[in-house]
Amino acid sequence: MSRSRRPSMLPLDASSSSGGARTPPWYRHGPVLLAALALVVFAALVGSSRERSPSDVADPRASSTREVIVDAVRTHRAEANAVWAPEPALVVDVDELQCDEDDAPTVDADAPPSAPTWVAPPTPVALVGDSITFEHGEVYAAALAACGAPDAVIDARSGRMITTTDGNPFGPIPSGLAAIEMIERTVDPGVWLIELGVNDVNLGVFDEGGMQCTIKRVLELLDPDDVVFWVGTWTVGPRAHLAAEFTTSLETHDRITVLDWPAVAEELVYDGLHPTSEGARQLAAMYCDCLS
C-alpha cells in the first residue's frame, strides 16, 4: 500500500531569538495543506475513472429511435459518397407522379398471396437501400454474385429517405426516388430489391400519412413488367407501429413481394435498427431466395 511521503522541513535556527524561534505559518499548516492536496488529486483520479467507466456509456437501446438514426448517419456520413453506384441526381420531379392517398389497393383476405411474374438473372438486378444496406454492402454484393447476379447494382446511403432530402440533419442525402430513377434510366433492371422506409418512419415523414402515395411514386418509376421485392420495415420505440403500418401498406400491392425481415429482425440487430453480421447474412439469404 503506497503512502505519500511527507516532505522534510528545514529546522528552525534556535539561536535566532531567545526562547526559540516562532514557527512560521507554512510550517504549522503544512500537513493540512498536503492532506487537502491529496484529497484533490484523489477526487480527480476517481472522476477520470468514472468518465471512462463502461457503465456510464449510454446504451443505444436506451436512446430514442431518432437519436439512433442520427448517430448512424453521423457514423457513416464520411463514407457515404463512395458507395456502390454512380451518384444519382438529387432531385426527382415527384410532383409529376400523381396519386391519391385514399385510392389504396383493396385486399381480398381470402385470396392467396400473389406471385410475381418471374424474371431470372441474367436480367439486371438492383438493390436500393439506406444504412441497413450500406453497412453490409459487401455481404449483399457477394451473396447476389453467388446467387447468379454478379453485376447487380447496389446503391445505398445512410440516412436515405424515399421521397425527400428535407429534414435530415446531415444535409441532402440522395433520395430513394432519385436513385431508382437514375438506375432505371441507365441500367433498366428487371428485378428490384428495395430496402427503404425506416428513415421515413423514424424521421417523421409518415407522421401525417402518405404511405400509399410514396409506394405508388416508386412503382410509377419502374417498368410495368419489373419484379419488385421490398424489405419489410422494422424498428423499435414509439414509431414501431408506423413501421408495421408501412409494411402492411406494401403488402396491399400485387406488384410487390414483401420480404419478412420484421419476423426475425429483433434478434438480429445490434442497436434496435441495424443488422448484426449474422443479421446481414440472413438478409442476404432472403435476397438469394428472390433469385432462386
Name which residue leads in pLDDT, 183 or 103.
Answer: 183
For residue 265, is pLDDT > 90? yes
Q: 105, 96, 98: which is closest to 213 by C-alpha?
A: 98
Mean pLDDT of 32-56: 50
SS (H, E, C) 193-251: EEECCHHHHHCCCCCCCCHHHHHHHHHHHCCCCCEEEEECCCCCCCCHHHHHHHHHHHH
For residue 157, is pLDDT > 60? yes
- Rounded to the nearest integer, the mean pLDDT of the chain is 73
**Residue-level pLDDT at 70:** 43
Look up residue 14 and give its three cell numbers: 534556535
Beta-ladder partners of 126: 153, 192
- What percent of the chain is predicted at pLDDT more than 90? 50
For 170-227, what is each residue's pLDDT tens digit? 677 889 999 999 999 999 999 999 999 999 999 989 988 899 999 999 999 999 999 9
The whole-angstrom separation of Cα 182 and Cα 175 is 11
Q: 45, 46, 33, 39: which is closest to 6 by C-alpha?
A: 33
Question: Residue 182, exposed/middle/buried by CB under 10 A (0-12, 13-18, 19+)?
Answer: buried
Q: Per the confidence metrics, is the pTM higher than 0.75?
A: no
CB proximity list for 35: less than 8 A, separation 6 or greater: none
**Residue-level pLDDT at 164:** 85
Question: Residue for cell digits 440487430?
Answer: 269
Look up residue 252 and give its three cell numbers: 396491399
Lowest pLDDT segment from 109-113, 196-200, 288-292: 109-113
How are strands ordered across the β-sheet holding 227-231? 153-156, 125-129, 191-195, 227-231, 256-259
Report yes or no: 226 and 191 within 8 Å, Cβ to Cβ.
yes
Beta-ladder partners of 125: 191
For CA atoms 197, 156, 185, 178, give the dihedral sign.
positive
**Residue-level pLDDT at 122:** 57
Lowest pLDDT segment from 168-182, 191-205, 229-243, 249-263: 168-182
The whole-angstrom separation of Cα 144 and Cα 283 is 11
Q: 241, 150, 139, 134: which is closest to 196 by C-alpha?
A: 134
For residue 132, is pLDDT > 70? yes
Helix (H/G/I), strand (E/B), else coil: 9:
coil
The whole-angstrom separation of Cα 185 and Cα 199 is 25
- What percent of the chain is predicted at pLDDT more than 70? 57
Mean pLDDT of 88-106: 47
Helix-helix angle 211-221:240-251, to 10 degrees: 50
